[in-house]
Amino acid sequence: MELTSPDLSPAAPRARVALLSLGGTIFMQQDATGLRATPGDHAPENLTRTLVDDVAVDHEELANIGSPSVTPAHLSRALRAARTAVDDGAAGVVLTHGTDTLEESAFLLDLLWDREAPLVLTGAMRPSNAPGADGPANLRDAVRTAAAPGARGLGVLVVFDAQVHLADRVTKVSSRSVDAFASIPSGPVGLVAREDVDLLYRPVAARHTPLLTELPDQLPRVPVLHAGLGEEGALLDALAPGSLDGLVIAGVGLGHVAADMMPRLRALIAAGVPVVVATRISHGGTSTHHYDYPGSEVDLIRSGVVMSGRLTPHAARLLLQVLLVGGYGADGIRAGFAPYES
């Protein structure tokens, strides 16, 4: 009987994933004191430690910056690169990103993502050379998710700490913990498994039609004003006419403001400036019908304000900016927020 040597050549990968990087803590290193993490060229080290055996990964660095400095121009480039990768045969795309604004980028990209393949954002809370660095595991899990058949059709996803989150529900809930992200109000959509995603539920609503084809390098001027005790919006009196394209109020409770703020908001709306009211409360969203007093949600809606529903103030800001770029008027803006009513 003739003995033959086993075939030790590597098996063909089951999928190919494009890895795009914008930097963030996942590619930072801290100094000898264990503090002051700074950007550096640490991508090769992280890639080596996180390659998934049966998934081929192609890496392209788009930037290496902290996430407060990420701009729509960076995301526009990432969007184009992600679409090209999928059209060239990638099963999915991973985008590394700092955690400070990761949820905002995920939500904004989701408004434009028009492929069945998943676009997965991930990052890290600990620098790459820190004890217990979480970046390698997060990157591995993101690659697995991008290649997972069960993740197709879910749009833009965030993968962190072995959990999979939908872009319109994920929010950062800790500025320090490696368990930094949660989905409100539903919890994560799935858990990362070796070759697929263990879905905990599938969204009831169908995927939205992308609101834009391309993302401009700059978005309309839409600040967020936080309501609170004694806040009547006097700052709005100091703004020059035409200096705002829109306004988001992070209201209190179910989306309420002080009665004395109402004349200012009505004046803005009369001048053609759309106003959206969200809530600064993390759970529950805004209402449309619980209270009817000056500054309540019923009074706001009667005055022409749009309520953000379950969207956070920063997500509401991004949606309003995208709707303004798309040229939507008052009715279109109200319709754009309608799917998020709670």
> What is the full per-residue pLDDT of the chain (342 aa) written as tens digits?
454 445 545 567 788 999 999 999 998 888 877 777 888 765 545 554 556 768 999 999 999 999 999 999 999 999 999 999 999 999 999 999 999 999 999 999 999 999 999 999 999 989 888 888 999 999 999 999 999 999 999 999 999 999 999 999 999 999 999 999 999 989 999 999 988 999 999 888 778 889 999 999 999 999 999 999 999 999 999 998 889 999 999 999 999 999 999 999 999 999 999 999 999 999 999 999 999 999 999 999 999 999 999 999 999 999 999 999 999 999 999 999 999 987
What pLDDT sits at residue 45? 55
What pLDDT sits at residue 13? 77
Residue 210 lies in a domain: no
- 138 plus 94 within the same structural domain: yes
- 190 plus 279 within the same structural domain: no
- 304 plus 157 within the same structural domain: no
CA dist 255 to 148, 296, 325, Å? 39, 7, 25
- 278 plus 314 within the same structural domain: yes
- Structural domain including 87 reads 15-199
Length of the chain: 342
What pLDDT sits at residue 198? 96
Burial of 198 (0-12, 13-18, 19+ CB in 10 A): exposed
Q: Is 84 a catalytic residue?
A: no
CATH classification at residue 291: 3.40.50.40
Could you give the CA distance from residue 219 to residue 217 in angstroms, rounded to a whole number?
7
Full-model pTM: 0.92
What pLDDT sits at residue 37? 81
Query: In sequence order, what are the beta bridge partners of 19?
Result: 59, 94
- 189 plus 255 within the same structural domain: no
Count of domains in the chain?
2
